[in-house]
Amino acid sequence: MPNSDLCGVISAVTTPVTKSFDIDAARLARHCERLLSTGCSFVSTFGTTGEGASLSSQHKVAALEQLKAEGADLARHIPSVMTPSADEAGRMIAAAAALGCRGVLVLPPFYYDAPTDEGIVAFIDDAMTRAGRPDIDILLYNIPRFSRITYTPELIDKLIAKFGAAIVGLKDSTGVAANAVMLAERYPNLSIFTGDDRVMPGLVTAGGAGMIGGMPNVFCADLAKIYAAPTSPETATLREYAAQRIGTVDSNGGMLALKAALAAIYDDAAWLRAVPPLQGLNSAQATAVLAAFAKTGFVPGNAA
């Protein structure tokens, strides 16, 4: 695989926000450093888990600039590009390239129904033109539940034909194991990631690259152990815990549950905040999440 470094456990980072719902870059920087020091190979900011669709490109670029000013190694950052505007997408891509990010994770343009494959290619081409055609790697973000657009093999083939080696990988957030494995087998030169902890062991065994997901925000070390030994009896309990933890998150507001866990890890209630229209969990909801996580070995002081 040409980009053999693009593998492992990548955290789709939750975004701490201020009381005015701006990105809290100082807290974000500390969180990213913790993730990179506890088993994550890279971090991916401003995706679905990071409330990227609720944040402007201007604010995201400013946060990345502040991260770099505070000494963050942006070569280990893969920010998401989540906008239906080619101009905004271009600005994010240009900034990521200028700041030295490892790559960008590109969501297809959402809102309009059933665009053609040629339309999606044209959108990314326009974004790259507006960005100044920088030399930056592109990972495709396949999450049709939200974007309503699927990066099908036919579309991927057209993007590779257009952009060549700039297309280096794909995050498959369908949660369908067979789809992730199919992509890994069809595209051995791409880094194929899943967004689902439960899919990761089978995907890695089939030659996939690993995972880009929200759960590493809290359980990075555990997931790194699973990645390293996806079928080992020694990680069987961790794989069971991973499935239970996803059930807890899915039934308690998704990334809002992760923010509640991070509030406990950092002993910092600011982590509970979310950007409207989302709202952070209340005290009773957060307590229920922590109690469920505790049954899988979660201890805030030494969270895995």
Find out whether 74 and 105 touch, Cβ atoms under 8 Å.
Answer: no
Beta bridge partner(s), residue 170: 140, 192
Check residue 114 and give its pLDDT.
Answer: 84
What's the whole-number average pLDDT of the chain?
96
Report the helix count and the strand count for the chain, using DSSP H and E. Answer: 12, 8
- Which pLDDT band holds residue 113 (cuts at 50, 70, 90)? confident
Find out whether 159 and 127 touch, Cβ atoms under 8 Å.
Answer: no
Find out whether 248 and 289 touch, Cβ atoms under 8 Å.
Answer: yes
User: Residue 54, class by beta-carbon neighbours within 10 Å (0-12 exposed, 13-18 middle, 19+ buried)?
Assistant: middle
> What are the structural domain ranges in the chain?
8-297
Check residue 300 and give its pLDDT.
Answer: 84
Beta-carbon-side half-sphere exposure of residue 261 (alpha carbons within 13 Å): 30
More confidently predicted of 260 and 299: 260
d(CA 246, CA 229): 20
Question: What fold is seen in the domain 8-297?
Answer: TIM Barrel (3.20.20)
Check residue 1 and give its pLDDT.
Answer: 67
Check residue 299 and give its pLDDT.
Answer: 87
- Which pLDDT band holds residue 303 (cuts at 50, 70, 90)? low
3-state secondary structure (DSSP) of residue 232: coil
**Per-residue CA distances from 120 to 113, 136, 140, 216 (Å):** 12, 19, 12, 30
